[in-house]
Structures are given as C-alpha cells and as structure tokens.
Amino acid sequence: MSELEINHVYKDYKLGNKSKFNALNDINISFEKGELVSIIGESGSGKSTLMNLIGGLDSDYTGEIKIGGIDLKTFKEKQLDDYRKKKIGFVFQSFNLIPHLSILDNVTIALTLSDVKESVKLEKAKTILAKLGLENQLKKKPTQLSGGQKQRVAIARALINDPDIILADEPTGSLDSATTLQILDIMKEIADDGKLVIMVTHSEKVASISSRVVELADGKIIRDEIKPDYQKNEHKDKLVEEKAEETTEEKGGNKPKKEKHLSVYSAVRLSLHNMWASRTKNFLMALGVTISLISMILMLAFGSGLTGYIDSLAQSYSNPTIVTVNKVDEMADDPSGGMGGLGGEIMSLLNPTPFTDEEIPQIIENINSALEEKYPNIEYRVSQDDIKYGFSAATGITKSASINFTVDGEEKSSNIFYLYTTPPYYTEEQMLAGELAGQPKLDEESGEMLGEIMVSAKIASEMGLENYEDAIGQIVTVKASYGQFPNAISIEQKCKITGIVDVSMFETMLVAYLDYDYFDSMVTANGGTLSPTSLYIQTDSEATTDTINLILSGMQGYTGSVENQMASMFTEMLSTFSIALAIIAGISLIVAMIMILVVLYMSVSERTREIGVLKSIGARKRDIKKIFTTESFLIGLFSGLVGIVFAGVVGGLLVLLFNSILGFAPLSFHWYYFLLALGLSVVISVLAGLYPASKAAKLDPVESLRHE
Ligand code: ADP
Ligand code: MG
C-alpha cells in the first residue's frame, strides 16, 4: 500500500457561462514515504491544482486520492480539517506567514488550533526553529525576516504537527539561488527523515536533486522519472521527533481523548494581536461607538434628571398631609371627545369647574365610605371642618382680570393670566420674596384699607421694575370680573403687593395670588357668591393623604392638585421627549453597528489570505468564526468601556457646569445606564460581526490562498 495513491483524477474548473475548464485529466500516480518529488511543468499545466487536491483544500474532483489506503472522498468536513492539520504540511511560494503574529505564534498556529498547552507549544517550536537555524527569531514579526528566513519559518510551521506529507508549491520561487539551495537541503532532509515531500518547481536544477521528477502538461502526466542515483543522507538529528514519542502526552489514558480545538483564550490572544496590528482603524471605529454610547447615556440621564427635578418641584409645592381635589372637565375624561387626553387636561386646568354646594358633602361622603369599606386600617374620616377652599381662573383668556399701576405718573395696565387664591400649604419659603397676602390692612401712609396681593416676577417686570423685589409695597388697582355674563360681577380694589410668588417653571406667566377669604368677601360685597374650584382636605397623616389620593383617582370627574397635574403633564411630555431622544441615540447606535459591520467586512477581505492559510493548516469553519466573533466582541467591549468612562467624565463635567450656572443639574445617572450601554455595545458589535465572521468561515481556501 502506497502512502499516497492517485487514481483517475479529473478536475474541471467551472467557468461563469456554464462552460468548464479541464485542469487535470486522468492523473494516475502513487508516492511512497521518503520520496522527494519534484513536479515540473509549464505554468498552467495543473501543478497547483494537483497539490490542492492532495492537500484536501479542494474536494471538487472525480477519481480517488488515497492516503494510507483511505479515500479522501470518504472524509467528512471535520475529518478533512483534521487531515490538513495533522497529516499535511503546506509550504507556499509567498511564505503566507500571518503578519501580525510573531514567528513563534506563526509556527505554533496549528497547535493553537488544537489547544495544545503553551509550554508544550514553546518546547516544540524551539526545537524545530533551532534545527532550522532560527532560534533567535522567536519574538520577531515576519516582516523583520529575510525571504529565506521566512520560508524556513513556513517550513517549521508545516512540520510542527509532524505530518506525513509535505506539500510545497514553488517553495523557492521567491528566493535567490543561494537561499534556494538552503531550502532544498532542508526539503531533502525532511524526505530523508522518512516523509513524503512533494515540491512544485520551475527549475530543472531544483528538480535535479530530487529522487523523482514528475512532469505535467495540460493536466496530464507526461513524465515520471525515478532517479536511481538519488543519495539518501543519513543523519541522526531528525527535524521532527518520532510521532509516537510526542503524542504519548496527548494520548494519556485508555479512553479516546476528546479532540481539542481553538480555546477562547487563544481566540482572544489572536484577536488582540490583530486588533493591535490595525489599532488606528479599530480606535476610530471604537470612537464612533463611543460617541453614540455617550449620547445615549447623557440622554437617559437628562430624561430622568429632568423628570426627577419636575417631580421634586411638584413635591415642594404640596403639603404631604393635604389632599387637593379639583374637578376635571368632562371633556378630559371622554376619550372620544375632541379634547381628550393631554389637551383635555390642559383645558380643565385653564378653566377649572367650580364645585356646587351639594357636591362637596357628596365628595366627603364618597371618600369616607371608600375609606370604611376598603381601608379598615385608617381611622381618619373627612369632616367639613378639615376642608379649605381655593379658587383659580385663567382670566387671561377673557382678559377679565388686570392690574393697573402708575409709572412716572402714567397709568399702565397688565393682564393677570392666572388668578389664584393662595393654597393653605403655601408658605413664605416657597416664595421668591416678601410675605403671604392676607386680609386687607390699614395703610398708615394713605390711611386707607388696602387689600393684599402677591404677583409673579413677570408682573413686576411688566411694571417696568428691574428687580422684582421692588414691586413689594407698590399699590396697584386690581380689576377682575367673576361669573358668567350677564351675571358677571366686576371687582375693583386697591391692593398692596406683599410678595413675589415663585412660579418656577411658569416663570413667564402673569400670575397673581389672593387670600381666598378676602376674594370671597369681595365677591360677596359685590352681590355674588364665590364657588370654589379647589378643595384642600387636611388629613392626619401622609399615609392617609396617599390613600385618599388613590380613592380620588378612582372617582370619575375629580383629580389632584394643579401642581401635581402640571407635573404629571410635564413628565408625560418629557417622557415622550426622552423616548424621542432615545430613538435618536438608538439610530446612532445602529449607524455605529453598520460601521462596525463595514469595517469587519473589509477586514475579512484584507485577511482573506490569512484565512486561507489558517484553513490549509486545518482550522475549522468554527475556528475562523470564533476568531472573528471574538474580535467583534472585544471591539464592543473596548468601545463600551471607553464609552462609559467618557460618558462618566462628560456627565460629571456637565453636572458641574449646570450646578455653577443653574444651581442644580437636571441629570441623574444610574449605574444601570452604564451597564446597559456596555451591554448594547457588546451586543451590537457581536451582531455586526456575525455576517463578516460567517463570510470569513465560508471562504474557499484555494481561492483565499490565490487572493492578492
Ligand atoms: P500551475 O500551478 O501549473 O501553474 P494551476 O494548477 O494553477 O497551474 O492551473 C491549471 C489551470 O487551471 C490553468 O490553466 C488555470 O488557468 C486554471 N485554473 C486554476 N484555477 C482556476 C479557477 N479557480 N477557475 C478557473 N480556472 C482555473
Ligand atoms: Mg501554480
């Protein structure tokens, strides 16, 4: 039985237009161990094609290729990968070393693919490299070696797994004559060590030292000459140790050991080498991801920061032991109504509906019975004494309220957009300046009884005052009308401004506040009856307040305080806004993902040759996929880490900036934003890497090796 037997092998290359090109035509030949075979022939005669078939790189042929009596055609993909890894050693004309790996890593790559221990790898590589005179080059990169050195490295790589057959396709084609002789000596030595060496060559001189010359022409063998005078050089120091010796460690016990493959550690190491080799490109790509991650984190932080700020503002305007009840415009509750949803809520805020006299006892009753039925733990019951009234009207719409004042002897007027009565929980702490307005008092200067009013800073500026504090103490005439035409009552009253209300987010509004009892007495004095638009229930505890608020939210037609309503409206608007921002950030992430995809895709075509080499060495599809996926994972991880660090730094700076300008920072960072960003970065990178990785895995090894 021959080591290698080829029977009736035909190879056709399929050309585009359904035609074929016949590259090998009925090849019949067999080879034995220890032969040093030169294959010669014109360019295009089919030499490389034959080598690729023997090497298991190309399975698309007819006929038999038997290795040790076993037909290659019977091999499954896995066995074929294994065959390339263990049985065959390839040496190429253009060396095909992997540029970003060290000499040591290049030589041991086949062992890496089998997950051999580092120490064993180093030991083997050192031995072989020493025999080839390269013991001092372990750490170098391929570009730092001469052509002859590179080819010796390639030979070391081919020998590392102690294959039975060495296939060398024009190994001396790129070398000068002196180096050619060196390489030929090595090839001869390998053959003399008992391996089958098949070498493609152009030169008759190279052929002349071999033990056998096979000549191809147009896909046929036209000469097969065995040299009777071939001198086998016996030498002690074999290039590769005997197979049995070195595999004892792997064989171990009696159980057939599971075949080992590229480990995650090695995949990471290989990826890191390559990423470092193209670090500028990777850095720029990471920058793109980083920017979208930073914007995503900042947008989330702004969203939650602003919401939190508005919530806390609403909190500061309410008292935890007071329940506010307002009526909701019917339209707001009717989803089919034109003013449903947010629009309806705004309408009911602008035009609060007054409570009727019968309604208030009914509300008390409803709340109390709900408390009794559903909340046995709460002893508190609402009584009429706990209730204070409030009134508010968006007078600006009908221009039914205004403030008249005198500037430099000239009469001026400003509308009051909102006329409110001061809620019972409102304190001077919540005002910008001055005191709460109360009952009319005797003014010492004029000897008149003057009403009291608070205004917003905007009204102060309407009065032509630079500082709103200057409005305090000013005497103005307040004109308001109350009720519906024709029963509307006109009120005109001289008032003194006692304080400036803080309307924070509605700072551009013309707002005035009066004491409820005072407003009531004015309406009554003019022949009307004031109906409240708000009820304030003083409860016994925060828990009771929360419970009653819950009961109210289940009662048709009623709602909580204006401030809370406004706050919830704002947070609702804000969350819509944050969703929009998040979508933008999401789009930028998708863009980053496409960018990663493009870069990885390009890197696959840049590394086509490398992939071909890996496959010729026995890398499985899965190994190639693993290397590329690991790389995209690492890109995602690095970009993510850089992104969150930068987001932290930028976020911190923004917080400082906002604090120094506004006195508060509308950003709040949660740890899970960073985790989310990191996770997303890894996920999108891995997703983006899937396609290039599977493309790389599917590359045809022969074509890849031919790739320029
Ligand atoms: P050699 O190595 O002897 O120079 P090859 O084995 O590379 O020749 O090629 C043999 C013939 O097959 C040549 O004519 C070449 O053009 C053709 N050939 C090689 N590869 C392909 C391919 N992928 N598709 C079509 N024709 C090919
Ligand atoms: Mg060729």
Q: What is the CATH number of the domain that holds 189?
A: 3.40.50.300
Amino acid 244: pLDDT: 44
Q: How far is the CA of 702 from the centre of ligand 2 (A)?
A: 11
Residue nearest to atom 5 of ligand 1 (CA): 46
What confidence category does residue 397 fall into, taking pLDDT thresholds of 50, 70 and 90?
A: low
Instruction: Please tell me the number of the ligand nearest to residue 171's CA.
Output: 2
Instruction: State how far the Cα of 144 lies from the Cα of 146, in Å rounded to an integer.
Output: 7
Q: What is the dihedral of CA 328, 332, 337, 339, to 10 degrees?
A: 120
Q: Which residue's CA is the closest to the ligand 1 atom numbered 25? A: 13
Of 201, 36, 110, the closest CA to residue 615 belongs to 110
Residue 253 placed within a domain: no
Residues 208 and 137 in one domain: yes
Pocket test for ligand 1, best of 38, 42, 48, 222 (most atoms within 8 A of CB): 48
Q: Residue 639, by phi and psi: left (phi above 0), alpha (psi -120 to 50) or beta?
A: alpha
Residue 497, CA distances (Å) to 88, 476, 570, 578, 708 in order: 99, 7, 30, 40, 87
Amino acid occupying residue 494: K
- The arithmetic mean of pLDDT across residues 648-662, rounded, is 91
Q: What is the pLDDT of residue 8?
A: 96
Q: What are the angstrom distances between the C-alpha of 584 and each of 263, 286, 290, 296, 682? A: 39, 19, 15, 8, 19
Taking each helix axis as running N to C, give the angle between helix 264-277 and helix 621-661, from 0 to 180 degrees, rounded to the nearest 10: 60
Query: In the chain, what percentage of residues exceed pLDDT 70?
Result: 91
- Note the pLDDT of residue 513: 92
Determine the distance separating the centroid of ligand 2 and the alpha carbon of 202, expressed in angstroms. 10
Protein residue whose Cα sits closest to atom 16 of ligand 1: 44
Nearest-atom index, ligand 1, CA of 219 = 10
pLDDT 10s digits, 673-708: 999 999 999 999 999 999 999 999 999 999 898 877
Residues shown for the chain:
708
Query: What average pLDDT does range 363-367 have in this prediction?
Result: 92
62: left (phi over 0), alpha (psi -120 to 50) or beta: beta
Name 419's bridge partners. Answer: 393, 512
Atom of ligand 1 nearest to the CA of 15: 25
Which of 9, 13, 24, 201 best tests ligand 1's pocket when mutated (most atoms within 8 Å of CB)? 13
Band (pLDDT 50/70/90 cuts) for residue 247 is: very low
Please say if the pLDDT value at position 335 is more than 60. no
Q: Which of 138-142, 161-165, 251-255 has the lowest mean pLDDT?
A: 251-255
CB 28 within 8 A of CB 6: yes
Residue 291 lies inside a defined structural domain of this protein: yes
Cβ(313)–Cβ(505) under 8 Å? yes
Classify residue 440: in a domain, yes or no. yes
CA angle 242, 246, 249 (to 5 degrees): 155
Report how far ligand 1's centroid is from the alpha carbon of 19 (Å).
Answer: 15
410-415 vs 401-407, strand pairing mode = antiparallel
pLDDT at 252 over 60: no
- 42 in ligand 1 pocket by Cβ < 6 Å? no
**Average pLDDT, integer, range 547-554:** 84
Residue 334 confidence (pLDDT): 45
Structural domain includes residue 235: no
**Ligand 1: which of 9, 25, 45, 59 to mutate, judged by most atoms within 8 Å of the beta carbon?**
45
Calculate how far, in angstroms, residue 49's C-alpha sits from the geometric centre of ligand 2: 7
- pLDDT confidence of residue 246: 41
Ligand 1 site-directed mutation target among 10, 19, 49, most atoms within 8 Å of CB: 49
Identify whether residues 12 and 155 lie together within a single domain.
yes
pLDDT in tens, 17-46: 889 999 999 999 999 999 999 999 999 999
Owner of token pair 């989330």: 300
Lowest mean pLDDT among 116-130, 185-199, 286-300, 568-582: 568-582
- Say what the pLDDT of residue 203 is: 79
CA distance 582 to 589: 10
Is 247 within the bounds of a domain?
no
Q: State percent of the chain over pLDDT 90.
A: 46
Angle between helices 621-661 and 608-617 (to 10 degrees): 140
User: Which ligand has the shortest distance to the CA of 39?
Assistant: 1
Residue 559 has pLDDT above 50, yes or no: yes
Q: Which ligand is nearest to the CA of 49?
A: 1
Whole-number Å distance, alpha carbon 624 to ligand 1 midpoint, is 26
Mean pLDDT over 137-141 rounds to 92
* Domain range enclosing 335: 322-388+539-560
Which token pair is 76?
A: 């499954």
Tell me the mean pLDDT in the region 217-221: 95
418 plus 280 within the same structural domain:
no
Beta-carbon-side half-sphere exposure of residue 33 (alpha carbons within 13 Å): 11
Question: How crowded is residue 407: how many other Cβ atoms within 10 Å of its Cβ?
Answer: 10
Assess if residue 194 is contained within a domain: yes
**CB neighbourhood size of 618 (10 A):** 24
pLDDT at 348: 62
Residue 633 placed within a domain: yes
Same domain, yes or no, for 544 and 682?
A: no
Q: For residue 129, is pLDDT > 60?
A: yes
- For residues 635 and 105, give the distance between their C-alpha atoms in angstroms, rounded to a whole number: 22
- Provide the 3-class DSSP secondary structure of residue 592: helix
pLDDT of residue 477: 92
Mean pLDDT of 509-532: 90
**Minimal-distance CA residue to ligand 1 atom 2:** 48
Pocket perturbation via mutation, ligand 1, pick of 9, 17, 21 by most ligand atoms within 8 A of CB:
21
Q: What is the CA(653)–ligand 1 centre distance, in A?
A: 64
Q: Which ligand is nearest to the CA of 43?
A: 1
Q: What is the mean pLDDT of the chain?
A: 86
Q: Give the model's confidence band at 444: pLDDT under 50 very low, under 70 low, under 90 confident, else very high.
A: confident
Banded model confidence at residue 245, pLDDT cuts 50, 70, 90:
very low
pLDDT tops 90 at residue 423: no
- Hey, which bits of 267-340 come out as E strands? 322-327
Q: Is the pLDDT of residue 340 over 70?
A: no
For residue 236, list its beta bridge partners.
none
Instruction: Give the pLDDT score at 289.
Output: 87
Cβ of 23 less than 6 Å from ligand 1: yes
pLDDT band at 510 (very low <50, low <70, confident <90, very high): confident
d(CA 611, CA 618): 11
Would 257 be classed as within a structural domain?
no
pLDDT digits (tens, 9 = 90+) for 626-648: 999 999 999 999 999 999 999 99
Tell whether 517 and 470 lie within a shared domain: yes
Higher-confidence residue of 374 and 242: namely: 374
pLDDT of residue 337: 40
Q: Domain end: 168, 203, 230, which one?
A: 230
Higher per-residue pLDDT: 318 or 272: 272
> Averaged over 586-606, what is the pLDDT?
89
Residue 563 has pLDDT above 70, yes or no: no
CA of residue 621 to ligand 2 center, whole Å: 25
Contacts of 540 (CB under 8 A, 6+ apart): 321, 380
Ligand 1 pocket residue status of 48, Cβ below 6 Å: yes
Q: Is the CB of 93 under 6 A from ligand 1?
A: no
Number of structural domains (the chain) is 4
CA-to-CA distance for 41 and 39, rounded, in angstroms? Answer: 7
Judge if 190 and 300 occupy the same domain: no
Report the nearest atom of ligand 1 relative to the CA of 702: 23
Judge if 111 and 211 occupy the same domain: yes
Q: Whose CA is nearest to atom 13 of ligand 1?
A: 44
With a 6 Å cutoff on the Cβ, whether 565 touches ligand 1 is no
Higher pLDDT, 63 or 583: 63
The pLDDT score that the predictor gives to residue 371 is 92
Residues 6+ apart with CB under 8 A from 445: none
Ligand closest to the CA atom of residue 92: 2
Ligand 2 centroid to Cα of residue 26, in Å, is: 19
Q: Give CA–CA dist 447/515, Å, rounded.
A: 22
298, 435: one domain: no
Contact call for residues 257 and 250 (beta carbons, < 8 A): yes
Q: Are residues 220 and 102 in the same domain?
A: yes
CB 305 within 8 A of CB 661: no
| Same domain, yes or no: 434 and 517 | yes
Please report which ligand is nearest the Cα atom of 25: 1
User: Which tokens go with 556?
Assistant: 């048709």
Confidence class of residue 375 from pLDDT cuts 50, 70 and 90? Answer: very high
Cα 50 to averaged position of ligand 1 atoms, centre (Å): 10
Locate the ligand 1 atom nearest the alpha carbon of residue 45 and give its number. Answer: 3
Q: Is the CB of 46 under 6 A from ligand 1?
A: yes
Buried b (16+ CB within 10 A) or exposed e, 302-336: bbbbbbebbeebbeebbbeebbbbbbbbebbbeee
Mean pLDDT of all residues in 313-341: 64
How many angstroms separate the alpha carbon of residue 47 from the centre of ligand 2?
6
Give me the mean pLDDT over the 290-314 stretch. Answer: 83
The pLDDT, as a whole number, for residue 131 is 86
Residue nearest to atom 22 of ligand 1 (CA): 13
Query: Ligand 1 mean position to 314 CA, how many Å?
Result: 80
Residue 249 confidence (pLDDT): 43
Please, is 43 exposed, middle or buried when counting C-beta atoms within 10 Å of its C-beta (0-12, 13-18, 19+)?
exposed
Q: Which DSSP state fits 396?
A: G
Same domain, yes or no, for 84 and 212? Answer: yes
Q: Which of 293-307, 361-375, 499-513 has the lowest mean pLDDT?
A: 499-513
Chain CA centroid to CA 631, Å: 15
Question: Can the peptide bond before residue 486 be classed as cis, meaning omega within 30 degrees of 0?
Answer: yes
Same domain, 46 and 162: yes
* pLDDT exceeds 60 at position 336: no
Distance of CA 197 from the midpoint of ligand 1 (Å): 22
pLDDT band at 251 (very low <50, low <70, confident <90, very high): very low
What is residue 63's predicted lDDT score, i.e. its pLDDT?
A: 95
CA of 169 to the centre of ligand 2 (A): 7
Q: Which of 549, 633, 173 is nearest to 371 (CA)?
A: 549
Ligand nearest to the CA of 27: 1
Instruction: Answer yes or no: are the C-beta atoms of 89 and 163 closer than 8 Å.
Output: yes
Closest protein CA for atom 8 of ligand 1:
44
Nearest ligand 1 atom to alpha carbon 216: 3
**What is the spatial distance between Cα 144 and Cα 150, in angstroms, rounded to a whole number?**
9
Ligand 1: centre distance to CA 12 (Å): 10
Q: Give the atom of ligand 1 at the shortest distance from the alpha carbon of 200.
A: 2
